[in-house]
Amino acid sequence: MKLKAIAVMAAAAALSLAMAGSALASPLSAKSKPAPQVTGTRLQSALLPSSAFGAGFTVTGHLNTGKKLWSTKARLKPSSLSCRNFAMFIYVGGFGNTAGAVDGVNNPNPDFANYPNIVVAGDQAVLQFKTTQAAASFYNQAYAKYKQCSAFTETLDNLQLELTTSSLSTTTINKNKAFQLIQYADVAALPVASEYLSTAFVLSGTNVYTIDDVSGTNDPISASLLRTFINRVQALYKHH
């Protein structure tokens, strides 16, 4: 499954959510005692409210892996995906993760009078793996793929979009390994305004967390927002 909000705006124009589905996977079979795990529907319940992205934001789409844990057999690898498919969609299952969930959010009434200080859309996602090693492997592959995809062009709704990496830096969030990516979005048909896609990945235990937003500034994703997201999901495991 995959979902990603891609918004492109100039003056009063914005693109919104793009969605697609994937094939089903087999449930996870239990062998040795794994790290605490929850289902995709449970992960969905711990995602941030849309208001965390700003006043007036609404959920425009959501996906999760359902009420059963998924097979740890990877059907996808970041390295096997095109830059377009990896960078412009969020996959909630298929990377060998046992569960996943994602919400896309949108600002239906951005105040363009305050441009560039506006956010027009965003996403949040969490992928849960059976082991910390599997989670770290996916995180490292994601970083390598973004590093490789420093510039590419794609067509969305008959608009030619070019994404170019402005910065890719490693950091820590709550002592967890993380990286922040900022991409400049250039739309040939909308040359009036600049727009940036900011993305953060955090590796925490057996989970990989992602938040991104589309805005007029090249600001990284808020560390406070990421910490709140991680804490909400981690609270699901307290009774396991």
pTM: 0.85
Q: How confident is the model at residue 190 (pLDDT cuts 50, 70, 90)?
A: low
Contact 71, 79 (CB under 8 A): no
Statement: 38-237 belongs to CATH 3.30.365.10: no
191 exposure class (CB count in 10 Å sphere: 0-12, 13-18, 19+): exposed
Domain limits, the chain: 38-237
**SS3 category, 1:** coil
Q: Which two tokens stand for residue 111?
A: 């105040």
pLDDT digits (tens, 9 = 90+) for 192-224: 567 899 999 999 999 999 999 999 899 999 999
Predicted local distance difference test score (pLDDT) of residue 84: 87
What is the structure's pLDDT at 27?
A: 37
